Amino acid sequence: MIFDTHAHYDAEQFDTDREELLGAMEAGGVGTIVDAGSTLESWDKILELTERYHFIYGAIGVHPDEVGTLDEAGMERMAELLDREKIVAAGEIGLDYYWDKENHDIQKHWFIRQLELAREKQMPVIIHSREAAADTMDIMKQHAAGMKAVIHCYSYSAEMAKEYVKMGYYIGVGGVVTFKNAKKLKQVVEEIPLERILLETDCPYLAPVPFRGKRNSSLNLPYVAEAIAELKGTTAEEVIQQTEKNGRELYGL
Ligand code: NI
């Protein structure tokens, strides 16, 4: 079944019909979902979702746009929550120089602190990186060697993707791969092994064609699997099976 390795069902965009939507997942072929932490406020909602739905697991972390709200008390709470049974990763953490909400030194500081905490807890990490290719690679080399990781919503070159694959990391691929103008990501998918690709939505964002611009959900992932299958010369079923296996391996499920 489909494994959505990165979703945000804690987001307010799902407040009106969350229960109905999540109730439709298993019939829609979605077997497992990891809901990724973004803000400090998202954490309690994620815990609630993991308690309520057997197929939802959580990741706890603070997104680079939000690290201005992080402090030592936040780090202590994160450490405590990473020990919970259904919390399977630290994330999403990283660098975002596109929105550039916090200065780069502050972003790097909290990225490294959260990476170090994940290492201490022996947990995989979900990496968010936008327009920060070189700094992300440097930090991963210096602070995450030997750890399990996914570079989520991957947006850089095929060459760099191959370097991450060599480091043992996974590459997260979502709705963008169905966009006509996504030449770079299509090339990435062609050049890295299917054994290193994960399916993800990042919902409510990044819906695939034919729903581009609308609210996304895990039920749209067959379109992503189909686009990857075409690029790889295989079937969507094979993509779904292999990426599920990959997701289980990353998160230890
Ligand atoms: Ni995300």
Residues 53-77: tens digit of each pLDDT: 999 999 999 999 999 999 999 999 9
Q: How far is the CA of 207 from the centre of ligand 1 (A)?
A: 13
pLDDT at 220: 98
**Gap between the Cα atoms of 123 and 117, Å rounded:** 9
Q: How far apart are CA 46 and CA 33, in angstroms?
A: 11
pLDDT of residue 114: 98
Give pLDDT, residue 217: 98
**If you measure from the C-alpha of residue 202 to the centroid of ligand 1, how many angstroms do you get, rounded to a whole number?**
5
CA of 128 to the centre of ligand 1 (A): 7
Band (pLDDT 50/70/90 cuts) for residue 127 is very high
252: alpha, beta or left, given left = phi > 0 and alpha = psi -120 to 50? Answer: left
How much distance in Å is there from the Cα of 206 to the middle of ligand 1? 10
Count CB atoms within 10 A of the CB of residue 155: 16
Average pLDDT of the residues of the chain? 98
Residues with CB under 5 A from ligand 1 (ion): 202
- In the prediction, which pLDDT does 196 show? 98
pLDDT digits (tens, 9 = 90+) for 20-59: 999 999 999 999 999 999 999 999 999 999 999 999 999 9
pLDDT average, residue stretch 204-231: 98
- Note the pLDDT of residue 115: 98
Rounded to the nearest angstrom, the distance between the alpha carbon of 3 and the centre of ligand 1 is 15
What are the tens digits of pLDDT across the range 78-125? Answer: 999 999 999 999 999 999 999 999 999 999 999 999 999 999 999 999
